[in-house]
Structure 1
């Protein structure tokens, strides 16, 4: 039987350290502190924390914040939060050099958030995010190189 890392409740959790883009590093390496999971934040707090992480070039970590909002939020908003998390993962893949994965997740995320454009909850800049995702996906599909995650980070909310 293969050993698996487990948390205090016995759930499988990978305890390997990770780099700033979420890639696993060898045990014992100095990694980047991970985002705690299952943190309940208000939607505005989730967006602010995710934006802070995106601005610091940590889209993988921003995805974890957005994933908490997706899993803990109201059913009618889950598609929005899942789409935002997918956009962050798409940026993560672009920063890692995985062009196909980046384009796929960027397009999937844009499709998920797009229907919220007419109501833009929490001032999420749906139109701007879809435009950003489409542009970056096109660049990646055209053979674009590795992107700087901080320099390529989108603005999640309008007017910021």
Structure 2
């Protein structure tokens, strides 16, 4: 245990093998931390470099399983490791997955906001790049899905089922 500048004790932080802070608590399917020792779902490995097609396929599997938080991590890997000209696309897709995560957790405001932000980022990327559907993705369908779900979440002010409301990444 360390201490703050005022001398108060602070909790030790979980660290990975390279000394970076990593929360080792198990997580549920929506990425919420569980108590240490609880059974959680397997976490997505971080920093994996995948082909774009593998990224889309893996993210879709996770979305279909009701694990949008984990799909977000797959998109985040593509955002951080992919070609510079595609980073905004992958970032927008990650925001869509996080928006679904928050909507499934019952965070109405945050869920709707991230769904709209992600839809706007994907739409802006498609307009700027001139590519309406790279890697077989249906970007127009995703944008429509996100905006429609944002409206449902706000209107009904209820938690949604992540697997039931999962988008189709490819048309």
Instruction: Return the TM-score normalized by structure 2.
Output: 0.90
Q: Is it true that 1:39 corresponds to 2:39 in the alignment?
A: no
Instruction: Verify the 8 A CA contact 1:110 1:133 in the aligned structure 2.
Output: yes
Residue 147 (structure 1) aligned to one of 150, 155, 160: 160
* Aligned match of 2:21: 12
Q: Which region of structure 1 is more displaced relative to structure 2, 112-121 or 99-108? A: 112-121
Alignment match, 2:147: 134
Deviation at 1:144, TM superposition (A): 3.3
Which secondary structure state, in structure 2, belongs to the residue aligned with residue 104 of structure 1? Answer: helix
Match of 2:6 in 1: none
Cα deviation, 1:117-157, whole Å, max 9, x if unaligned, reads 64121122110001000001111121331111111000111
Residue pair 1:70, 1:82 contacting (<8 A) in 2 also: yes
* Mapped contact 1:99–1:143 kept (Cα < 8 A): no
Aligned to 1:57: 66
Q: Distance in 1 between matches of 2:136 and 2:147?
A: 20
Match of 1:99 in 2: 108
Instruction: Report how many residues are paired.
Output: 158
**Is the Cα–Cα contact under 8 Å of residues 153 and 160 in structure 2 kept in the other structure?**
no
Residues 54-89 of structure 1: CA deviation (Å, up to 9, x unaligned): 001100110000100000001100000000000000
Q: How does 1:56-75 map to 2 (within 5 A)?
A: 56-75=65-84
- Structure of higher CA gyration radius: 2
Structure 1: stretches of 5+ with no match in the other structure: none
Q: So what's the TM-score if we normalise by structure 1? A: 0.96
**Which sits farther off after the overlay, 35-44 or 143-152?**
143-152
